[in-house]
Structure 1
Amino acid sequence: MNFDPTNLRRTDYGFFGPDSPSWKVWTSPTAVIGFQRAVTLEFFDPFLTASVADTGKIYSDARSRLDATFAYFLIVAIGDSRTAIQASEHLMTVHAKSTGIEPISGKRYSPNNPETQLWIHITGWQSVLKAYEMFGPGLTPEEEARYWQECRIAAELQTCDPADVPVTREGIREYYANVRARLCSSERAEEGMHQMLFTSPKNGAGLTYALGARLLSFASIATLPKWMRHLGRFDRPRIVDLLVKPAARILVWLFTLFNKAGLIMAAPIIAPMAGQILEQHLKFEVPEHAETVTPAAARELYGSRGHRSVSAAG
């Protein structure tokens, strides 16, 4: 991603603001667990698997793959609107160049495809909330309702139709039920999922990432339904889940006690760029305009003329 995390511009409070559940959920230590869950789930979409596998980077540098994706989601959730729009346009441009043939169906894939983008978006936002509920304090019903509305707003920066984003827990369940028939696993999908969960330091990720990813995997796998764990061949005995849940909650509580310092220490182990974004965010500098804006207004101010053509290409 063409982005300098040491200079997170603060033109405004972005799309949601300091009192939003999105800021609360995405800046919790549990977000790292949730995001490992999300990038693992992505591989159940065969078109996304083909796209990621054909670039090859996932096998040689799993850390950068997770870090760049995590950084993008953080920018949209907690960054200022200018940075978010610029990050979105950059990502869409990169995706537009990555097309090919999905080998199982023989159909052409594109990361900008609206269905693929919807899968990425929903699994990201739902996974981070799931980890926040399971290992953190969770949201009130009112906060959760607002969180899903904010999830739909965030989708405006991607090629999917925001109207397709569910805004209730029941809607999310229905979405997963509807897409389950087209989800599958394969040799390349399993390799990608296992890279995210059980990375070896030999693939360029480094010892700290490999160790951190494997430790996180105990918690992230515990959040997943059995059918997904069986399909991806990374299931574990129920007793492991029972032991992991209280241990993870205690660790999250300890990190939360440290407040800013705890969060800054947690993220860089897995995602250095995302950790720097969080560090900048937690300084909480007052922006030039102490207000939130809509993605549409931000695009008018900061978007390029080519944005619509790039998005349409997906």
Structure 2
Amino acid sequence: MPRPAFLPDKLDVGLFGPRSVTWQLHADPAMWLAGICSLYLQALHPRAVAGVVQNSKFRTDPFGRLLHTAAYVVTVSYGTTAEAQRAASRVCRVHGALRGVDPESGEEFRIDEPDLLRWVHCAEVYSFLTVVRRAGFQLTDAQADRYLDEQRRSAALLGLDLDALPGSVSEYEDYFDRMRPVLRRTRDSDAIYDFLHRPPVPWWARTPRTAFYLPLGHLAYSLLPDWALELHGRRPFPRALATGVLRTVRLAGLAVPVTMRIRLPNNPLAKAIDRLGTGATPSRTLLPA
């Protein structure tokens, strides 16, 4: 029996729904590189990165944080409303129990301070948008603004005030301008840079890591905004080269149909299509005008 047609007025479409920009953009293959790029950007906030370095197991579980973050983003993007809320509640419980120590002042701080959560959210979402657009996913300026406005809903799940969040490209640029005096390269940001270039792996995987992952890790770094590259102080790939390789990687991903890319166990997007019907399959034709 064929799956039912998409019925948005009768079914739970989740936080965003198939006719959102989020639904289409987050299914793009370039999102993986965008996610890694966002970690480089987040690392420029001294307190935010100190909280990660002091509390994360990224050195002993190199891909755990990446996979957990990716799973959370996919669940909030494509899960039911209840699933998104449960995922956010788990994150809030974990963050609420964690503390960090400012490496400069020695002051203890909460990981879930609103300013820190806001920075992490904005760095992540802005990276998603700018990297995927640079990879060739075409959006109008209005659609880009709509995406950033949609993403305020995901931040609200973590307890952030909607009115205190930027919701357009210009508002994001203003936010980063205001944050610039706070941001800098630190020993902790260098640790994240090194980790994202050379994550610890068993001896037998070191050659593949050097041959395949290291160039991709540096590609993700090279996709940062110019001002963030200047703060990190490491030489990126030339801009034209980075863009060309990014688009090639994306095209290779697009060669695999979306229905095959998402058929992994418990993939929230696959479950959403099963729940809502094939009309919910991500497609540029569903982008809002």
TM-score, length of structure 1 as denominator length:
0.76
Q: What residue in structure 2 maps to residue 282 of structure 1? A: 270
Q: What residue in structure 1 maps to residue 151 of structure 2? A: 151
Residues 126 and 211 of structure 1, relative CA distance in 2, 3 Å threshold? farther
Residues 244 and 262 of structure 1, relative CA distance in 2, 3 Å threshold? farther
Q: What residue in structure 2 maps to residue 55 of structure 1? A: 55
1:115-264 matches, cutoff 5 A? 115-202=115-202, 213-238=213-238, 241-260=239-258, 263-264=261-262
Preserved CA contact (<8 Å) 1:34 1:131: yes
1:1-150 matches, cutoff 5 A? 12-150=12-150
* Deviation, structure 1 residue 143: 1.9
Q: SS of 1:59's equivalent?
A: coil
Distance in 1 (alpha carbons) for counterparts of 2:216 and 2:262: 16
Give unmatched runs, 5+ long, in structure 1.
1-10, 266-274, 292-314
Name the amino acid aligned to 2:231: L
Give unmatched runs, 5+ long, in structure 2.
1-10, 281-289
Across the aligned residues of Structure 1 and Structure 2, the Cα RMSD in angstroms comes to: 2.9
Distance in 1 (alpha carbons) for counterparts of 2:133 and 2:125: 12
Residues 227 and 120 of structure 1, relative CA distance in 2, 3 Å threshold? same
* Deviation, structure 1 residue 151: 1.2
Name the amino acid aligned to 1:286: R
Distance in 2 (alpha carbons) for counterparts of 1:213 and 1:71: 20
Q: How many residues align?
A: 268
Moved more, 29-38 or 213-222: 213-222
* Structure with the largest fraction of helix: 1
Query: Matched residues, percent identical?
Result: 22
Deviation per residue, 1:248-300 (Å, 9 max, x gap): 213312321322266359xxxxxxxxx655x4413511259x99xxxxxxxxx
Q: SS of 1:70's equivalent?
A: helix
Residues 81 and 237 of structure 1, relative CA distance in 2, 3 Å threshold? closer
Preserved CA contact (<8 Å) 1:152 1:167: yes
Preserved CA contact (<8 Å) 1:88 1:158: yes
Q: SS of 1:109's equivalent?
A: strand
Preserved CA contact (<8 Å) 2:62 2:200: no
Preserved CA contact (<8 Å) 1:166 1:172: yes
Q: What residue in structure 2 maps to residue 303 of structure 1? A: none
* Deviation, structure 1 residue 125: 1.1
Q: SS of 1:100's equivalent?
A: strand
